[in-house]
Structure 1
Amino acid sequence: MHPERYHLVLLLDGRPTMHGWWADETVARRKVASWIGAYGQAGARVTLTDEETGTVLTEWPDQG
């Protein structure tokens, strides 16, 4: 496992505020939920990306 495969970013008002990297996708997804709970507010954006494939795995709020 690559130790920095799953990259989590918190943007507040468009500015990168926090970053985190995890080797395990399950752990990274739990962090997404934690960050949304702690920082989910107007102007916040949380994105989880698989750095190995370049795929955005989840975004909050949902762009769909």
Structure 2
Amino acid sequence: MDSAGRYRLTLVIGGRDVAIGWWKSRATAERKFAGDVGEYGHRETARITLVDTETGEVVKSWP
């Protein structure tokens, strides 16, 4: 697990990592995920993934 947090949110647009964020709180990470979907979800090539780095589970992904 990264020292910055257990939950990693990755925003990819056009096949390139645009932003990566780390949070210790799952609730906070899920709010950030929802915010990114709202802000970037209209872009055809946007991919957003929230991963629990402790378990390797993909918690949420869009689309």
Alignment coverage as a number of residue pairs: 60
Secondary structure at the residue paired with 1:53?
coil
CA RMSD of aligned residues (A): 1.1
Whether 2:57 is the aligned partner of 1:58: answer no
TM-score (norm 1): 0.88
What's the counterpart of residue 9 of structure 2? Answer: 8
What's the counterpart of residue 45 of structure 2? Answer: 43
State the identity as a percent: 45
* Runs of 4+ displaced beyond 2 Å: none
Residue 44 of structure 1: CA displacement?
0.1
Gaps of 5+ in 1: none
What amino acid is the match of 1:35?
Answer: D
Residue 4 of structure 1: CA displacement?
1.2
C-alpha separation in 2, matches of 1:60 and 1:33: 10
